[in-house]
Structure 1
């Protein structure tokens, strides 16, 4: 961090990341490179990014009230699981380098992106077979646990992966699934950030401007997701997800 220019860059990057992340799910595609650009080393940038992401949770909750109505029971069931996964991921981050599984992550992000395209067909097949929406069996808890751990550990692409999981197992409507994704992702991020704040070094001079931008952006993202045609939003998320997968494959350490 060298001055007002870096602060302005982080606020702007946070704003855009908050919009993109809460409207579909690739926040770190924008925020993580911005932290590297202002001079933070990879581990410090990863920690600062996770802590700043907490700001997206209240903003997206405020903006997603229409989609969250009637889902209180679902959230009470799955948010604690996501929070525990985030805590486990943060402990892994503090004990192992974030590049340990770097070569696997691009494939996970790409798979999540492709799953978004396949979801309408999968949902139609489930409906024809008489499986109601939300009958995710063991796939939802296992998938959500694994992705929440990953979110607390590194996080890049976790939004699109969780969105794809929820669309396939819990909620076929894109805007509603996106709102639920923001809530479970936010819970995991909050616990992970709390652990990192207690046990790891946090660059608050970077977190503060980035988090401010993310909060503002997160109040806009769900509103954009609500208004965009579902097919257009789906393709935008998929294309950004594929772009992130390629970026992570070429440069896995950021």
Structure 2
């Protein structure tokens, strides 16, 4: 990539905003993906470069949310394993299958995840809200997180929306703590993509060097904002952004 000064500034800003959006709701990587296309990368290169560049932002989210992760050790271990295994499969699919095979369902998945997030409280009442301190619905949660990991390894855009929607429905905890877990799972999936794509994918490392540092800053700052948001505000931030992202993908 041979970027002008204006394009470099454009990517820096996109990375900063994406990191913050990922921390608050998820979907920030979809800001960087079109930005990379704009500066001349082809879709495959933009996709894998975007995935690698997001990694520091997820580190910032986890650091910024470390207080909310206390007491979630068992949940973290189980879901990280599921998300990581799914991400491995997703990366393999990206490298061996035509993009149209999976991309056709990406907008639908994001929109459905957003609708699930909006209906989450009603769905919980319908299926029965567990008592305070009751265990998660692990038998359903882990396969769902695995499938989210597959999506994250393949495309990654709006992975946070899908993860937080899944966690809010199947895990029994406050949304702010589940949002912190979402950051850990996003980091796990991103770590897998960094390793695999570094070995055998057309990553533009100059673009990564421009975007990655600002995603770190944006992720840390966004995590601190998300901690202070009321649960309903946080929920509807995810819903609105997720629907916007899904419609954008559907149209483009």
**Structure 1 length-normalised TM:** 0.93
Q: Which moved more, 1:241-250 or 1:89-98?
A: 89-98
Kindly state the Cα deviation for residue 176 of structure 1 after the two structures are TM-superposed: 0.9
What's the offset of the Cα at 1:102?
A: 2.1
Where does the alignment leave 5 or more consecutive residues of structure 1 unmatched? Answer: none
Q: Distance in 2 between matches of 1:129 and 1:81?
A: 23
Structure 1 residues 72-111: aligned runs within 5 Å: 72-111=73-112
Query: What's the counterpart of residue 33 of structure 1?
Result: 34
User: Does residue 64 of the first structure (1) align with residue 68 of the second (2)?
Assistant: no
TM-score w.r.t. length of structure 2: 0.93
Change (3 A) 1:167 1:183: same
Contact 1:10 1:213 in 2 (8 A): no
User: Aligned partners of 1:182 and 1:113: how far apart in 2?
Assistant: 17
Aligned pair in 2 of structure 1 residues 186, 4: CA closer, same or farther (>3 Å)? Answer: same
C-alpha distance in 1, partners of 2:134/2:225? 24
RMSD in angstroms over aligned alpha carbons?
A: 1.7
**Partner residue, 2:115:** 114
Cα distance in 2 for partners of 1:147, 1:125 equals: 24
Distance 1:129 1:165, change over 3 A: closer
Match of 1:164 in 2: 165
1:8 to 2:31 alignment: no
What residue is the counterpart of 1:219 in the other structure? 220
Any conservation in 2 of the 1:123–1:172 contact (CA below 8 Å)?
Answer: no
Give 3-state SS (helix, strand or coil) of 2:101's partner: coil
The size of the alignment, in residue pairs, is 251
- SS of the aligned residue for 1:155 comes to coil
Residue 210 of structure 1 is matched in structure 2 by 211
Compared with structure 1, are the counterparts of its residues 128 and 10 closer, same or farther at alpha carbon in structure 2 (3 Å cutoff)?
closer
How much does 1:4 deviate?
A: 2.0
The 5 Å alignment of 1:170-185 reads: 170-185=171-186
2:233 and 2:43 map into 1 onto residues whose CA distance is 33
Does residue 51 (structure 1) correspond to residue 52 (structure 2)? The answer is yes
1:191 counterpart = 2:192: yes
Question: Does 2:234 correspond to 1:233?
Answer: yes
| Residue 130 of structure 1: how far off its partner (Å) | 5.4
Preserved CA contact (<8 Å) 1:98 1:154: no
Gap regions ≥5 residues in structure 2 = none
C-alpha distance in 2 between matches for 1:112 and 1:120: 14
> What's the offset of the Cα at 1:134?
4.1
- Which deviates further from its counterpart, 56-65 or 145-154? 56-65
How far 1:199 moved relative to its partner?
Answer: 1.2
Q: Indicate if the aligned counterparts of 1:133 and 1:170 stay in contact, CA closer than 8 A.
A: no
Query: Partners of 1:228 and 1:13 in 2: how far apart?
Result: 23
Contact 1:162 1:181 in 2 (8 A): yes
